[in-house]
Amino acid sequence: MFGLIPKEESFFELFERSARNCDEAAKAFQGLLDAWGDGEAAREERVRKIKDLEHVGDQVTHETIERLNRMFITPIDREDIHELVCRLDDIVDLIDTAAHRMLLYRVSGPTEDCRKMTAALCHSTAVIAEAMPLMRDMKNAKTLRERVVAIHTQENAADQVLSHALAALFSQETDAREILKWKDLYQEIESATDRCEDVANVLDAIVMKNA
């Protein structure tokens, strides 16, 4: 089916660009955590890089929606195209927010739970980047579904880390400001993994409709 769609009407390249940008943003956020001790100037530079990636994501989303509005025939359902590209964009937006707030809140450094949640996020975005090219041919449906399951697994892992992180935060931290800071940061990172799961759900729906 997909092979019958004219190349100029294909959205798959845009999906792949957006997914790669998500993965790059997640890895840049992980790099920010790893280099937190390098000083304020280095941290600010890494946060600016993430902001640049957020702008790239916005551009790809805008281009996709513009193309969607111009095309009469699309390779997959219009609502799935819109939903997929918007949820991919949300991932980068949330990563950008978390990075900016880490600077704004002047945290002393990432916690172990923060690192674990970010690792789950990076695993998810890497799987998403791997999954997108598979959409070009629904003969890859089985492999694509396996990628969907892998994304769900990482989101469940992030949920578990969030529960542990919040329990430790409220039981061990006595400074109300620190509690507020880290509660917000944990939830932003976990929300990014939630959006990864949303992407997985859209992919699953596309496979069900087209395989």
**pTM greater than 0.95 (yes/no):** no
Q: What is the pLDDT of residues 29-81, one digit of tens each?
A: 999 999 999 999 999 999 999 999 999 999 999 999 999 888 888 888 999 99
**pLDDT reading at 7 higher than 70:** no
Contact yes or no for 151/178 (Cβ under 8 A)? no
The ranges assigned to domains in the chain are 10-206
pLDDT digits (tens, 9 = 90+) for 136-186: 888 998 999 999 999 999 999 999 999 999 999 999 999 999 999 999 999
Q: In angstroms, how far is CA 46 from the centroid of its own chain?
A: 17
Residue 207 near residue 144 (C-beta atoms within 8 A): yes
Q: What is the CATH number of domain 10-206?
A: 1.20.58.220
| Confidence band of 210 (pLDDT split at 50, 70, 90) | confident
CA separation for the pair 73, 38 (Å, rounded): 51
